[in-house]
Amino acid sequence: MSGELDELRHLVAEGCRVLAARQLAPGILGHISYRIDETRLLVRCRGAQERGLAHTTPQDIRLVELTGEPGAPGELDGYTVPYELPLHSRVLMRRPDVMSVVHAHPANVVAADLAGLTILPIVGAYDIPGAVLAHGGVPVFPRAALIHNSALGDDVADSLGERPVVLMRGHGLTSTGTSVQEAVLRAISVDTIASLSLSIVSAGGTLKPIGAEDLADLPNLGAGLNLGAAWRHEVSRLE
Q: Which among 13, 48, 50 has a CA at the least distance from the CA of 29?
A: 50
Separation of first and last alpha carbons in the chain: 29
DSSP element (H, E) containing 164: none
Which member of 4, 38, 50, 84 is catalytic? Answer: 84
- What is the rounded distance in angstroms from the CA atom of residue 236 to the CA atom of residue 18? 10
Instruction: Give yes or no: 84 in active site.
Output: yes
Tell me which residue of 145, 134, 103, 140 sits closest to 196, measured CA to CA. Answer: 134
Strands of the sheet containing 165-168, edge to edge, are 61-65, 40-44, 31-35, 100-104, 172-177, 165-168, 140-141
Q: What is the DSSP string of 68-117?
A: SSBSSTTTTTTEE--TTHHHHHHHHHH-TT--EEEEE--HHHHHHHHTT-
For residue 12, the surrounding DSSP H or E stretch is: helix 2-21
Instruction: Name the residues annotated as catalytic.
Output: 84
